[in-house]
Amino acid sequence: MKGLIFFGILIALILVVLVRNIRVVQQAKAVVVERLGAYSATWGVGLHIKIPFIERIAKTVSLKEQVADFPPQPVITEDNVTMQIDTVVYFQITDPKLFTYGIEQPLVAIENLSATTLRNIIGDLELDQCLTSRDVINTKMRSILDDATDPWGIKVNRVELKNILPPKEIQNAMEKQMKAERERREAILQAEGKKRAAILEAEGEKESAILRADAKKQQQILEAQGEAEAILTVQKATAEGIRIMNEASPSQAVIQLRSLEAFTAAADGKATKIIIPSEIASVAGLAKGLVETVKD
């Protein structure tokens, strides 16, 4: 009976030990296993059984991309301006074995390496370059950190400068400079607006003058055309009258009478002295005699 109890307890202990040594590795995880104190294997996703009392799990590593936000670091530019710059490093563990055995406290090592790298890069730049060359600084830091952390099984994907904080007096001077620049741009825009308005006004006056000149020109042309047409009409009428008279073969007396009428029209009651040819005078006497005869 005691033997059965002992055997049952032994079986239960074996089952407990087996269950406790079964490991399920989740997605985006890796497990570093040591056997008798030495590296044995790296377990990936799936079910694994650890040999009791011989193997042990040295480290469980996350393979996801991680973010390390480091506190601001004092740096000095080439023109001796002290600034506070904090960085954000995005990294990913690519080799769990190197990450486990490559270096002690990898995050601390990355933070210190980021600080020294940042000081070296900023030390070769002036303040204005630091404020306008973030992409250049980020690219240089990522390249240097990636090369340095490669033996630790870490890949640096991206480095970002989160904040660049110059001294307070520098900030005040920059704000004044920006305000002056905005005022200068405003003055330029106003001047350009006034210039444009003056140009448009001058162009409008020019076009108005041209239109007035064209209108006057057209008026003069039309008046000249009207006068020419009137003269032509009179000439045509005169020519037509002469033609009709020629066709009628008028006598000498009729011609002289017409001449008298023409002189009468020329005088129009305003002339004080008119010299009449003798031929027309005789016709005038004849006409007067005829009038008197008719009256009698």
The CA-atom distances, in angstroms, between 209 and each of 139, 180, 198, 204 are 64, 43, 16, 9
pLDDT of residue 110: 92
Q: What are phi and psi of 160, to 5 degrees?
A: -130, 135
Question: Could you report the per-residue pLDDT of 3-57, keeping only the tens digit for each?
Answer: 677 777 778 877 777 778 888 888 989 999 999 889 999 999 988 888 888 888 8
Question: Could you report the per-residue pLDDT of 172-181, keeping only the tens digit for each?
Answer: 777 777 788 8
Q: What are phi and psi of 253, to 5 degrees?
A: -65, -40
Question: Could you report the per-residue pLDDT of 119-171, keeping only the tens digit for each?
Answer: 999 988 888 888 888 889 999 999 999 999 999 999 999 999 888 888 788 77
Mean per-residue pLDDT, 265-280: 54
Q: Quick one: pLDDT band at residue 283, thresholds 50, 70, 90?
A: very low
pLDDT of residue 125: 87
pLDDT of residue 148: 92
pLDDT of residue 296: 46
Q: Where is pLDDT greater, at 48 or 253?
A: 48
- Only one residue has tokens 């008046």, namely 223
How far is the C-alpha of 25 from the C-alpha of 59, rounded, in Å? 12
How far is the C-alpha of 49 from the C-alpha of 207, rounded, in Å? 96
